[in-house]
Amino acid sequence: MTKDKKGMSASRRQFLTGAAAVGAGAVAGTVARAAGPDPLITEVQDWANGLGHGVDEVPYGLPIEFEGDVIRRNVPWLTADPISSINFTPIHALDGTITPQGCAFERHHSGAITLKKDDYRLMINGLVDQPLVFTYADLERFPRENHVYFCECAANTGMEWAGAQLNGAQFTHGMIHNMEYTGVPLRTLLNEAGLGAAGDFTDKWVYVEGADASSNGRSIPMEKALDDVLVAFKANGEALRREHGYPVRLVVPGWEGNMWVKWLRRIEVTDHAVESREETSKYTDTLEDGTSRKWTWIMDAKSVVTSPSPQAPITHGHGPLVITGLAWSGRGAITGVDVSIDGGKTWTQARLAKPGEKMALTRFYLDTEWNGEDMLVQSRARDDSGYVQPTKAQLRETRGLNSIYHNNCIQTWHVKTNGEAENVEVS
Amino acid sequence: VAQEGKFGLGRPALPEEVAAWDLDIAPDGRNLPVGSGDVWTGDEVFAENCAVCHGDFAEGAGNWPKLAGGQDTLDRDDPLKTVGSYWPYLSTTFDYVRRSMPFGNAQSLSDDEVYAITAYILYSNDLVDEDFVLSNETFMDVEMPNANGFIVDDRETAEAHFWTDTPCMENCKDEVKITMKATVLDVTPDEVGEDE
């Protein structure tokens, strides 16, 4: 990438405007006075005079053009090819917890395939009493459940193991989305095929694979399969998007995103883990001594401040400041988030927008005052298993630098006196 | 009529259907199809179907995955993880190549071609001699160097100290210094995207 190619982006211009506003001297605790009447108020505006769009204009809408910054982005140098690759959710610009599907991240191994409901088939075979084939229409006739869960790529934050590398929460933490899923519990489908032949479940597995060329086959222990795994066909109220597995995907609450097999075509009950490519070559975590952890399924408690952050600088000058972010845990519900503005010397409990829900994103806020001082902003999540989000140094002590996956370290943003923020590491 | 607790939905899968989709191979070699392929045939098939991305000697081309090399690098700063240096089971190589390779033309290889390619990858990793013939009979004779290189997730014991009732809230450090900055690397794409 060349320097001149970067140019001056929209948000950079916004940032400079904001910095000028700080210089103009809004003083904390003082309500700024208007220099004169505001023409946006005193003059009749077009939108108050003419007509807007009719209801027949947009049968299915996209965000208004002024939100053109809230999009998925990719990092071309991360992968050899954009087909087996990743892009990132613009978490720096979102609020609340539900991820809009249209900008929710994608990770494919052989591209986002087009699979019609009419062409869809789901097979259950292996150690079942009766191997079965379901059509999409069959799946809609089983009793359904609704749940909100996060899907976090195992590699989220993986580029940051060795140091501060990418400058923005979207890039460091955006391999995640959080949706309300509608679907059928996997246990209902397994029961339909009959698990008598499987006998004792303690050493049994299900192997799940997709209809795409990569197949993305993964082994899941029977205990999890019978617990909360969902065969989902709706997300955030509507059908899954093509890139998220249309028409059917697996939802594996709390577990690494790779196991959320998209375009799900087959579920096999086995008496062994298949040890497929995606659980041997990939999604295994190499430790300092050269041995590697396998089957690191759970995503540990994690959080990130989404604003202020490198892509969301402070542009409003001194005074009231909302520090906000996301926290989540694959081990259960978030019970609290602590925020530091001095790089972890002191911590303050943030306010959770709602009580944490199991294996779902939780929004936190710290309503504070900013007087233009340098800040080293951090957040630290806690969950109901008692787990406290560690620092990167703590993770490196147990894992070294080559784990690739499962980096749930505390993130630091350096917010400078002009409101700009940068991804840094601190001692 | 549905059985107890069942809905009577779906229909029995036919043996041909299960055979078409159930291709996964167990680490102990169960489910391997009958067939065979030797190193030299593998060299030819690899040159035709694989070398454009993975190199003539499976050493990798450009950014594409390296399939050979990297022995004894796993505890180094920049480990090279290949079939030879990292993968614990040969079953995974056969299974993955047969189902998902070549990239963009998956499931186009015959079982014998997959045996031959797998034999060639083993040869490229110095794990078999040039006259080796891989078959469903000889499959389990191959020793993978990193077969014992994996442990089951041990976070709950190795990282037990991350579970604590008393995270520090005040005076947690004397001093905080910035030790690394992302802007020094300057590898983040432009906000408005690469294409602009």
Domain that holds residue A362: 302-424
Residues near B189 by beta carbon (within 8 Å), at least 6 away in sequence? A1, A73, A74, A75, A76, A171
Whole-number Å distance between alpha carbons of B102 and B110:
12
Residue of A66, A125, A406 to mutate, testing the B interface (most B Cβ within 10 Å of its Cβ): A125
- Helix, coil or strand: residue B56: coil
Residue A1's pLDDT band, with cuts at 50, 70 and 90, is: very low
> What does pLDDT average to over chain A?
93
The nearest CA of chain B is from the CA of A286 a distance in Å of 8
For residues A151 and A201, membership in a common domain is answered with yes
Is A68 among the domain residues?
Answer: no
Q: Which residues of B touch A394 (CB under 8 A)?
A: 161-162
pLDDT at position A30: 58
φ, ψ of residue A64 in degrees (nearest 5): -60, 150
Task: Give the C-alpha separation, B185 to A168, whole Å.
Answer: 13
In a domain, A66, yes or no: no
User: What's the average model confidence in pLDDT over B91-112?
Assistant: 97
Same domain, A174 and A105: yes
Q: Are A340 and A301 in contact (CB under 8 A)?
A: no
Q: Which residue in the set A276, A286, A297 is minimally distant from B95, CB to CB? A: A276
Tell me the CA distances in angstroms from A108 to A297, A317, B33, one per residue in order. Answer: 19, 41, 29
Q: What is the mean pLDDT of residues B87-95?
A: 98
- A239/A185 same-domain check: yes
- pLDDT at position A420: 98
The residue with greater pLDDT, A168 or A162, is A168
Q: Is residue A69 part of a domain?
A: no
pLDDT at B186: 87
Contact B191 A213 (CB under 8 A): no
Q: Is residue A98 part of a domain?
A: yes
A392 and A343 within one domain: yes
Is position A95 within any domain?
Answer: yes
B161 contacts on A by Cβ (under 8 Å): 394
Residues A147 and A171 grouped into a single domain:
yes
Partners of residue A180 on adjacent β-strands? A148
Q: B91 and A275: CB-CB below 8 Å?
A: yes
CATH of the domain at A394: 2.60.40.650
ipTM higher than threshold 0.85: yes
Give every CB contact of residue A351 below 8 A, 6+ residues apart in sequence.
Answer: A364, A365, A366, A367
Q: Taking the alpha carbons of B12, B17, B19, B22 in that order, is the dihedral positive or negative?
A: negative
Q: Indicate whether A17 belongs to any domain.
A: yes
pLDDT at position A21 is 44
Q: Quote the pTM value.
A: 0.94
Are residues B100 and A345, on separate chains, in Cβ contact within 8 Å? no
Residue of A nearest to B10 (CA): A134
| pLDDT reported for residue A23 | 42
Which of A61, A86, A104 marks a domain boundary?
Answer: A61
Q: Decide if B178 and A376 are in contact by the 8 Å CB cutoff.
A: yes
Question: Hey, are the CB atoms on B153 and A71 less than 8 Å from each other?
Answer: no
- Which of A293, A321, A350 represents a domain boundary (last residue)? A293
Based on the domain organization, do A276 and A334 belong to the same domain? no
Using pLDDT thresholds of 50, 70 and 90, give the confidence band for residue B3.
low
- Mean pLDDT, rounded, for B56-62: 95
Q: Give tens-digit pLDDT for A211-223.
A: 999 999 999 999 9
Contact state of B155 with A296 under an 8 Å Cβ cutoff: yes
Residues of A in contact with B61 (CB under 8 A): none
User: A101 and A250 share a domain?
Assistant: yes
Smallest CA–CA distance from B176 into chain A, residue: A427
pLDDT value at position A3?
A: 38
Per-residue model confidence as pLDDT tens digits over A343-400: 999 999 999 999 999 999 999 999 999 999 999 999 999 999 999 999 999 999 999 9
A271 and A338 both lie in a single domain: no
Average of pLDDT values for B41-68?
A: 96
Closest partner residue to B190 (CB to CB) among A6, A125, A193 is A6
* Two structure tokens written together for B59: 């050493």
Interchain contact, A426 vs B179, CB within 8 Å: yes
Instruction: Quote the minimal CA–CA distance from B132 to chain A in Å.
Output: 24
| pLDDT computed for residue A260 by the predictor | 98
Residue A312 β-bridge partners: A309
pLDDT of res. B191: 61
> What is the pLDDT averaged over residues B61-80?
95
**Burial of residue A84 (number of CB atoms within 10 Å: 0-12, 13-18, 19+):** middle
So what's the pLDDT on residue A16? Answer: 41
On whether both A412 and A282 belong to a single domain, the answer is: no
pLDDT in tens, A67-102: 999 999 999 999 888 999 999 999 999 999 999 999
Domain presence at residue A381? yes
How confident is the model over A108-122, as a mean pLDDT? 98
- Which residue reads 């519900």 in tokens? A333
* Domains contained in chain A, number: 3
Please, how many CA atoms are within 13 Å of residue A392, restricted to the half-sphere of its CB? 23
Min distance A7 CA to chain B CA atoms (Å): 8
- Please report the pLDDT score of residue B167 as a whole number: 96
For position A12, what pLDDT does the model report?
Answer: 43
A322 and A420 inside one domain: yes
Q: How far apart are the first and last CA of chain A?
A: 30
Among the partner residues A7, A10, A80, nearest to B64 by beta-carbon distance? A80
pLDDT of A146 reads 98
- Which residues of A are less than 8 Å from B10 in CB distance? 124, 132-134, 138, 192-193
Does A163 reside within a domain?
yes
Domain end, chosen from A242, A276, A293, is at: A293
Best of B3, B7, B9 to disrupt the A interface (most A CBs within 10 Å) is: B9
**Range in A3-17, A188-202, B44-58, B151-165 the model is least confident about:** A3-17
Looking at residues A186-205, what average pLDDT do you find?
96
B contact test, residue of A74, A167, A335, A339 with most B CBs within 10 A: A167
Going by DSSP bridges, is the β-strand pair A264-270/A121-126 parallel, antiparallel, or unpaired? parallel
Residues A81 and A14 in one domain: no
**Residues A228-281 pLDDT 10s:** 999 999 999 999 999 999 999 999 999 999 999 999 999 999 999 999 999 999
Please answer yes or no on whether A265 and B21 come within 8 Å at the CB atom. Answer: yes
Rounded average pLDDT over A128-138? 98
Q: Does residue A20 surpass a pLDDT of 50? A: no
Domain holding A200: CATH number? 3.90.420.10
Answer yes or no: do A84 and A46 share one domain: no
Average pLDDT for A25-40? 74
pLDDT at residue B185 in the model: 85
Give A337's strand partners: A381
pLDDT band for position A32 (50/70/90)?
confident
Give the pLDDT confidence score for residue B190 in this predicted structure.
Answer: 75
pLDDT at B171 over 90: yes
| Beta bridge partner(s), residue A376 | A342, A414
As a whole number, the mean pLDDT across chain B is 94
In Å, how far are A188, A198, B10, B188 from B13, measured between CA atoms?
A: 18, 17, 9, 49
